[in-house]
Amino acid sequence: MQSKYLVIALFICMGFMSCKEDEKSDVTPLETYVEPEPDKEFGFVLEDYIVKRDTIKAGDSFGEILERNNIGYPKIFNIAEKTKDSFDITKLKAGKPYTLLCTKDSLQTPECFIYQPNSIDYVVIKMTDSIKAYTGKKPITIVQKEASGIVMNSLSETMESQGLPYQLINDMSDIYAWTIDFFRLQKGDRFKIVYKQRFIEDTIYAGIESIEAAYFEHKSEPFYAFNFQVDSTKNISDYFDENTKSLRRTFLKAPVQFSRISSRYNLNRRIKYYGYKLRPHRGTDFAAPIGTEILATANGTVTESTRRGGNGKYVKIKHNGTYSTQYLHMKAQNVKKGDFVKQGDVIGWVGMTGNTGGPHVCYRFWKNGKQVDPFKEKLPAAESIPDSLKSKYTEFIKPLKSQLDHIQFEDNTIELPTEEEVLTSKIH
């Protein structure tokens, strides 16, 4: 009998527990509250300070900025002395932003001065008991992007019309400067690019990191370019084609970027002003605005940097026992005799010195002591990839080449309606 009551009690208890479980299942659990991350910048929690932001004004100094914010000159001098080995406070440039992190009290005393020389780097000067200065970088995100287009007038106009960064235009010009004459592009030439962009904190554009691969179709001839590291120790990279050959040549095609040829090398030139007398032109004139950078077209040693007669201010460079180049009518030179220059170095700026009717650089080219037309010379190529790296390079470019080949050309051309189509639309 007693066991019977025990069984009944057990069933009642089980039913009660079942009800409790059902009751629990109907209750919605509370969401876990996660406290948001505090707003941080330059490694500081901004809500801990009164934050003052401004830009360096013309004539501003580090001392004047701190004095305006209630720091006396004895302390300013002490800060300058203790940080002089880490940061030169005299190098603040007008227009650059700075931030003051101040105490949250009525005095609002600055505890940190943060200077930003560019959009990525910053300098922190801590002005509390332990005064010190150090540098930092904002977090950068690298994003891969693609672009393509069809040239209608010039490469720069085509890329600008698509809103592509100006740096990307320059970088493309640099890559193909040795293989494609950008002054003779044809309507219908096409390009594709795989490149990387930098973003600060995922949102603020901070420039081009690199062009990874490019394709340029000029006069229906394809030109591939792949960025490959040939020396990891020295971090040296260069651009090579699909056959491991370097895109570089011994000489650049032109000493100025995005210019136009206003007068070519011509030994039979006759000028009306001089009564159509034979006046040979032994140079190539590149018209460009005054102040445009003039680049050395190859490595070499400056043999002349002077001013003389109709040549105006000029620079002459000896590249080796065979070749020399000369750059005339400069506004000013950036090198002196005896300097060694590298290909692409700025050696001066376009001007109008000497005999000239407009701003340009007259580019002269010597081979074995005789002036020749560089555009008709078959100039040697730079070195290609070493044999030891060729198999690695071939594997490296496979996915990049496939990616390039699958990019569709961005049709930036605008087809204007014909006269017949216009008349027909007006009738209807």
The tens digit of pLDDT for each residue in 131-160 reads 999 999 988 999 999 999 999 888 888 888
CATH of 40-137, one of 2.70.98.10, 3.30.390.10, 3.10.450.350, 3.30.1490.190: 3.10.450.350
Kindly state the percentage of the chain with pLDDT values over 70: 82
Domain ranges of the chain: 40-137, 140-240, 260-376
pLDDT of residue 261: 83
40-137 and 140-240 share one fold: yes
Amino acid code (one letter) for 37: E
CB under 8 Å, gap of 24 or more: what pairs does 84-93 form? 86/132, 86/133, 86/134, 87/115, 87/123, 87/125, 87/133, 87/135, 89/61, 89/62, 89/63, 89/125, 90/61, 90/62, 92/56, 92/60, 92/61, 92/62, 93/56, 93/117
The better pLDDT of the pair 7, 120 is held by 120
Residue 307 to residue 354: CA distance in whole angstroms? 8
Is residue 353 within 8 A of residue 313, CB to CB? The reply is yes
pLDDT of residue 35: 62
Structure tokens at 56: 């360096």
Is residue 123 within 8 A of residue 115, CB to CB? The reply is yes
- Phi, then psi, of 339 in degrees rounded to 5: -70, 140
pLDDT of residue 421: 52
pLDDT of residue 275: 54
Residues 6+ apart with CB under 8 A from 310: 354, 355
Residue 315 to residue 325: CA distance in whole angstroms? 8
What mean pLDDT comes out for the span 230-259?
A: 85
Give me the residue label for tokens 């720069």. 156
Is the pLDDT confidence value at 387 over 80? yes
Per-residue pLDDT tens for 197-227?
A: 999 877 888 889 999 999 999 888 899 999 9
Is the pLDDT confidence value at 390 over 70? yes
Mean pLDDT of the chain, nearest integer: 84
pLDDT of residue 130: 86
pLDDT of residue 97: 95
354: left (phi over 0), alpha (psi -120 to 50) or beta: left
CATH fold of the domain at 260-376: Glucose Permease (Domain IIA) (2.70.70)
pLDDT of residue 428: 46
Structure tokens at 206: 């901070």
Residue 397 to residue 405: CA distance in whole angstroms? 12
**End-to-end CA gap in the chain:** 105
CA within 13 Å, CB half, 168: 28
Is the pLDDT confidence value at 78 over 60? yes
pLDDT of residue 9: 52
pLDDT of residue 250: 76
Per-residue pLDDT tens for 95-138?
A: 999 999 999 999 899 999 999 999 889 999 999 888 999 999 98
Per-residue pLDDT tens for 13-69?
A: 555 455 454 544 555 555 666 666 678 899 999 999 999 999 999 989 999 999 999
Per-residue pLDDT tens for 346-367?
A: 999 999 999 888 899 999 999 8
Q: Which has the minimum average pLDDT: 218-232, 247-261, 290-304?
A: 247-261
DSSP-assigned letters across all residues of 336-366? -TT-EE-TT-EEEEEB--SS-SSSEEEEEEE
The CA distances from residue 426 to 377, 415, 420, 421, 423, in Å, are 56, 19, 10, 9, 5
CATH of 140-240, one of 3.40.50.720, 3.90.180.10, 3.10.450.350, 3.10.129.10: 3.10.450.350
What mean pLDDT comes out for the span 300-320?
A: 93
Is the pLDDT confidence value at 416 over 90? no
